Chains A and B, each alone.
Chain A
Amino acid sequence: MKIVVCIKQVPDTKGGVKFNPDGTLDRGAMLAIMNPDDKAGLEAALRLKDEYGAEVTVVTMGLPKAEEVLREAMAMGADKGILVTDRVLGGADTWATSTTIAGAIRNLEYDLIITGRQAIDGDTAQVGPQISEHLDIPVISYAQNIKVEGDSVIVERQYEDRYHVVKAKMPCLITALSELNEPRYMTPGGIFDAYQKELTVWGRADLKDVDDSNIGLKGSPTKIAKASDKVRKGAGEKVTLDPDESVSYIVDKLKVKHVI
């Protein structure tokens, strides 16, 4: 079985969010990490590899620095890494990103493609389903459990108040939830091996069946009209009182605000 996992390097918005004194985001101070949903997708692929045997290829699109997440993925156990990087690919929205990644994946053999549900910087959840459309294969989003049965996958697909057990013929694309699993750690030796492995770097010219009008900033149907950092609501009062005083404090506030 051949599995392609799409991953993205993102700033760590979880816990590591740093603010400038004016309340805006200090992007420079934030760590770059492998997107959590993508890491769960990678872990799912590695578990399938452990169980059924598979070759796992990780693909990322980004700046040359994104090599780091490919190395990390290989240190966890991925077999190959492909970095898609080119200045003409910059500024892509989800449409142009999905056409680009689909163009890269067309060069590969695959039975299964796994992406994270969404990235923590954009939170769109769009790229996975869009890739599947470009490749004309079925998609199962929001996977909370994945099994392989013959030439099919059986996936628990999460909804708000239920889940569906869905069977799809491979090749297909699955988007993974971070709840899917607890990703494994790298190993020390795996890290050093990962840096010895060859990394494939592809540019625009390596993308298969992709029109220039569908890539990068120019190929993005959506355009940013305005972007600003949200200044967070300031802190209100903070008090340290004994339990009885705390209770009367809260009750008073609820009265003042006509809640009771």
Chain B
Amino acid sequence: MDFTLSKEHEMARTLFKDFAEKEAKPLAQEIDENHRFPRETVDKMAKLGFLGIPVPKEYGGQGCDPLTYAMCVEELSKVCGTTGVIVSAHTSLCCDPIQTYGTEEQKQKYLIPLAKGEKLGAFGLTEPGAGTDAQGQQTKAVLDGEEWVLNGSKCFITNGKEADVYVIFAITGTVEKRGRVSKEISAFIVEKGTPGFTFGTKENKMGICGSSTYELIFTDCRIPKDNLLGQKGKGFNIAMHTLDGGRIGIAAQALGLAEGALETTINYVKERKQFGRAIGAFQNTQFQLADMATKVEAAKMLVYKAAMKKAEYAKNPKISYSVEAAMAKLYAAEVAMEVTTKAVQLHGGYGYIREYDVERMMRDAKITEIYEGTSEVQRMVISGSLLK
């Protein structure tokens, strides 16, 4: 077992850190305050290949491993949770399913511009009545000649109005299995601008305020027959498998938020003085920091291990990384919430003020326990594997 990162990974981290500090950090506070999507940062990331890190070079990507990708999301999230999730949703939830399930034509048409960052991707599974329970889908797709006709809506969609390519799930029929009838779900690729595809309300969120979260509405939206992604009826599996990968991205985001809050707090306690000495000189502070750092390190191990397991899967599709991804996401998200909360506490009154980064980090951290499978769902996935 080797815990040493390769020189390539170390240098990639230097790159992501450098970029995050220079490009993402200066905007973090402003985009949070104004709920503004950081298009300029996305454009810069596109130019540098950050939007196609794990995509093979022949499809316009960087050809790197999932660990490099996770480190990118981690470093971005250290300074700006919004920037981290933009990359994560685009890469894990849009590029990845097209790369895994797409036909050669679909990859040429969609994956290449996505990986080059010429287009931004999003993923639409959640509906008002179908969050954790993906079977509660209402959106329908009906084949009419050479076209699928979509009707229904999706909510809480990250990169919502800013994306160009959407992976959308819809009911295409029913299946009967051992006498029980259930919905048959299929996946589709939908382009922005397709007639009948519109946007509903923009969500006003607690955190990751710069990310564009919208409702997607499909009203007799006709898409080409060829835009079916994967086999008809395999949508549920595609969604679940895609979310396994997505969880690594979100786990990396959570890890980054926790690390960012810890670093900020370490600097703060060295400088902030109370009762005539730096608050870092008090044992309470020291012990809090020790606990925070230990948990961050443990979270990092889980996240990196899940990313490395996904790399193994790339070589051998029989390998599953579902449990590792669930553990990484569950733990990193809870650590993010705990560490950012403690960071606010150690900042005292200043931690409650918008001017200080930890305030934003704490709000950003909360969502990591909820989206792409709540912590409860992760526990179901993990325990399910234990008791099968």
Contact = CB atoms under 8 A, between A and B. Distances in A.
Nearest to B6: A195
B49 A188 contact: yes
Nearest to B72: A188
A192 interface: yes
Interface stretch (B56-64, B223-231, B254-262, B339-347): B56-64
Nearest to B53: A188
A72 interface: yes
Nearest to B15: A186
Contacts of B163: none
Contact of B50 (A68, A188, A191): A188
Interface string B41-83: 0000000111001000100011110001000100000000000
A187 B19 CA distance: 11
A189 B63 contact: yes
Nearest to A196: B8
B7 interface: yes
Given A192-B63, A192-B64, A187 B8 contact: no
Nearest to B23: A185
A72 B12 CA distance: 10
B18 interface: yes
Contacts of B314: none
- Among B8, B49, B72, the most chain A Cβ lie within 10 Å of the Cβ of B8
Interface in A51-79: 68, 71-72, 75
| Chain B interface size range | 10 to 19
A185 B18 contact: yes
A71 B15 CA distance: 13
Given A185-B15, A185-B18, A186-B15, A192 B8 contact: yes
A68 B10 CA distance: 11
B7 A188 contact: no
Contacts of A72: 11
Interface string A183-203: 001111101100100000000
A188 B64 contact: yes
Of A71, A72, A185, A195, chain B has the most CB atoms within 10 Å of the CB of A185
A75 B13 CA distance: 13
A188 B18 contact: no
A165 B364 CA distance: 52
A10 to B, nearest CB: 15
Interface in A61-117: 68, 71-72, 75
A123 B11 CA distance: 26
A167 B57 CA distance: 42
Give the interface residue-count category, chain A: 10 to 19
Contacts of A75: 11, 15
B7 A187 contact: no
A220 B236 CA distance: 72
B11 A189 contact: no
A64 B198 CA distance: 58
A189 B61 contact: yes
B62 A189 contact: yes
B48 A185 contact: yes
Contacts of B61: 189
A188 B19 contact: no
Given A187-B48, A188-B64, A71 B11 contact: yes
B19 to A, nearest CB: 6
A189 B72 CA distance: 12
Contacts of B18: 185
B49 A187 contact: yes
A118 B19 CA distance: 25
Contacts of A186: 11, 15
Interface in A179-228: 185-189, 191-192, 195
Interface string B1-31: 0000001100110010011000000000000
B64 A189 contact: yes
A52 to B, nearest CB: 21
A132 to B, nearest CB: 32
Contacts of B15: 75, 185-186, 188, 191
A187 B64 CA distance: 11
A160 to B, nearest CB: 29
Best-buried of A71, A186, A187, A188 by chain B (most CB within 10 Å): A188
A189 B49 contact: yes
Contacts of B72: 188
A191 B12 contact: yes
Interface in A116-132: none
Nearest to A75: B11
Contacts of B8: 191-192, 195
Nearest to B50: A188
A186 B9 CA distance: 13
A88 B62 CA distance: 41
Contacts of A191: 8, 11-12, 15
A78 to B, nearest CB: 14
A72 B19 CA distance: 15
Contacts of B68: 188, 192
Nearest to A33: B14
A71 B63 CA distance: 18
B192 to A, nearest CB: 27
Nearest to A195: B8
A59 B171 CA distance: 61
18 contacts: A71-B7, A71-B11, A72-B11, A75-B11, A185-B48, A188-B12, A188-B49, A188-B50, A188-B68, A189-B57, A189-B61, A189-B62, A189-B64, A191-B8, A191-B11, A192-B63, A192-B68, A195-B8
Interface of A: 68, 71-72, 75, 185-189, 191-192, 195
Closest 9 CB pairs of A and B: A189-B62, A188-B62, A187-B49, A186-B15, A191-B11, A188-B64, A195-B8, A192-B8, A191-B12
